[in-house]
Chain A
Amino acid sequence: MEQSAGKMASGTTDPAPEAPAKLELRNISKWFGPEGEGVHAVDDCSIEVKKGEFIVVVGPSGCGKSTLMTVGAGLEEPTHGEVLVDGKPAGPPGPTRSVVFQKFALFPSETVEQNIKFGLQMTGVSAAEQEARLAEQLKIMGLEQFRKSYPSELSGGMQQRVAIARALVMQPEILLMDEPFGALDAQTRTILQEEVQRLHREKHYTVLFITHSVEEAVYLGDRVVVMTRRPGRIKRVIELPRDVAWKTGDIELASEHPEFIEFRREIWGLVREEIVSI
Chain B
Amino acid sequence: MIEKRLERMGVMTDRGKATAYGIFSLSLLLILWICATSLFQWIEPRVLPSPTRVIGQFAWILTEPFSGLRLPGHILSSLERWGWGVLTAGLIGIPVGVFFAWNPWFRTFVNPVFELIHFIPPFAYIPLAVLWFGASTATQAMVVFVAAFPSIVINSQLGVAQVEKIYIDAARVLGASQLRTLWRVILPAAAPSIYTGLRIAISNGWMALVGAELVVGKVGLGFMIAQGQENASVATIFVGIITIGCLGVLIDTLVQRTERFVLPWRKVAS
Inter-chain contact B189/A108, CB cutoff 8 Å: yes
B172 interfacial by beta-carbon distance below 8 Å: yes
User: Which of B138-146, B162-170, B193-201 forms part of the interface with chain A?
Assistant: B162-170
Most buried by A among B184, B264, B265: B265
Inter-chain contact B180/A105, CB cutoff 8 Å: no
Inter-chain contact A108/B169, CB cutoff 8 Å: no
Evaluate whether A153 and B268 lie within 8 angstroms (CB atoms) in the complex, with A95-B174, A119-B175, A122-B180 already known: yes
- Chain B residue numbers with a CB within 8 Å of A70 are 169
Count A-B contacts at CB 8 Å. 75
B187 nearest in chain A by CB position? A109
B116 interfacial by beta-carbon distance below 8 Å: no
Per the bound structure, the CA–CA distance linking A92 and B174 in Å amounts to: 11
Inter-chain contact B173/A73, CB cutoff 8 Å: yes
Inter-chain contact A118/B172, CB cutoff 8 Å: no
- Chain A residue numbers with a CB within 8 Å of B169 are 70, 73, 75, 93, 99, 101, 105
A126 interfacial by beta-carbon distance below 8 Å: no
Per the bound structure, the CA–CA distance linking A98 and B189 in Å amounts to: 22
CB < 8 Å: which of B166, B177, B188 contacts A109?
B188
- Chain A residue numbers with a CB within 8 Å of B264 are 150
B117 interfacial by beta-carbon distance below 8 Å: no
CB < 8 Å: which of B174, B180, B188 contacts A170?
B174
User: Which chain B residues (154-192) contact chain A, with CB distance < 8 Å?
Assistant: 166-167, 169-177, 180, 184-185, 188-189, 191
Inter-chain contact B173/A152, CB cutoff 8 Å: no
Inter-chain contact A152/B265, CB cutoff 8 Å: yes
- Chain B residue numbers with a CB within 8 Å of A118 are 171, 174, 176, 184
Inter-chain contact B265/A122, CB cutoff 8 Å: no
A107 interfacial by beta-carbon distance below 8 Å: yes
- Chain B residue numbers with a CB within 8 Å of A122 are 171, 174-177, 180
A97 interfacial by beta-carbon distance below 8 Å: yes
A166 interfacial by beta-carbon distance below 8 Å: yes
- Chain B residue numbers with a CB within 8 Å of A99 are 169-170, 173
Evaluate whether A109 and B170 lie within 8 angstroms (CB atoms) in the complex, with A118-B176, A118-B184 already known: no
Q: Chain A, 79-111, contact with B by CB distance < 8 Å: what is the 0/1 string?
A: 000000000000011110111010101111110
- Chain B residue numbers with a CB within 8 Å of A166 are 174
Inter-chain contact A107/B188, CB cutoff 8 Å: yes
Inter-chain contact A94/B170, CB cutoff 8 Å: no
CB < 8 Å: which of B173, B184, B188, B189 contacts A94?
B173
- Chain A residue numbers with a CB within 8 Å of B170 are 99, 101, 105-107
B265 nearest in chain A by CB position? A150
Inter-chain contact B172/A107, CB cutoff 8 Å: no
Inter-chain contact B173/A109, CB cutoff 8 Å: no
A123 nearest in chain B by CB position? B175
Give, as a whole number of angstroms, the nearest-CB distance from B226 to chain A.
46
Most buried by B among A98, A101, A119, A122: A122
- Chain A residue numbers with a CB within 8 Å of B269 are 108, 150, 152
Give, as a whole number of angstroms, the nearest-CB distance from A68 to chain B.
15
Give, as a whole number of angstroms, the nearest-CB distance from A144 to chain B.
20
Give, as a whole number of angstroms, the nearest-CB distance from B170 to chain A.
4
Inter-chain contact A75/B268, CB cutoff 8 Å: no
Inter-chain contact B173/A93, CB cutoff 8 Å: yes
A169 nearest in chain B by CB position? B174
Q: Chain A, 112-153, contact with B by CB distance < 8 Å: what is the 0/1 string?
A: 000000110011000000000000000000000000001011
Give, as a whole number of angstroms, the nearest-CB distance from B150 to chain A.
26
B263 interfacial by beta-carbon distance below 8 Å: yes
Per the bound structure, the CA–CA distance linking A152 and B167 in Å amounts to: 15
Inter-chain contact A101/B166, CB cutoff 8 Å: yes
Give, as a whole number of angstroms, the nearest-CB distance from A196 to chain B.
18
Give, as a whole number of angstroms, the nearest-CB distance from B121 to chain A.
37
Inter-chain contact B166/A105, CB cutoff 8 Å: yes
Q: Chain B, 212-247, contact with A by CB distance < 8 Å: what is the 0/1 string?
A: 000000000000000000000000000000000000
Per the bound structure, the CA–CA distance linking A82 and B254 in Å amounts to: 55
- Chain A residue numbers with a CB within 8 Å of B176 are 118-119, 122
Inter-chain contact B174/A119, CB cutoff 8 Å: yes
- Chain B residue numbers with a CB within 8 Å of A97 are 173
- Chain B residue numbers with a CB within 8 Å of A98 are 173-174
Per the bound structure, the CA–CA distance linking A90 and B166 in Å amounts to: 21
Inter-chain contact B174/A109, CB cutoff 8 Å: no
Inter-chain contact A95/B188, CB cutoff 8 Å: no
Give, as a whole number of angstroms, the nearest-CB distance from A48 to chain B.
21
Evaluate whether A105 and B174 lie within 8 angstroms (CB atoms) in the complex, with A118-B184, A122-B180 already known: no
Residues of chain B whose beta carbon lies under 8 Å from any beta carbon of chain A: 166-167, 169-177, 180, 184-185, 188-189, 191, 263-265, 268-269
A-B contact pairs, 14 of them (CB 8 A): A75-B172, A93-B173, A95-B174, A97-B173, A105-B166, A107-B171, A107-B184, A107-B188, A107-B189, A109-B265, A118-B184, A119-B176, A122-B171, A150-B264
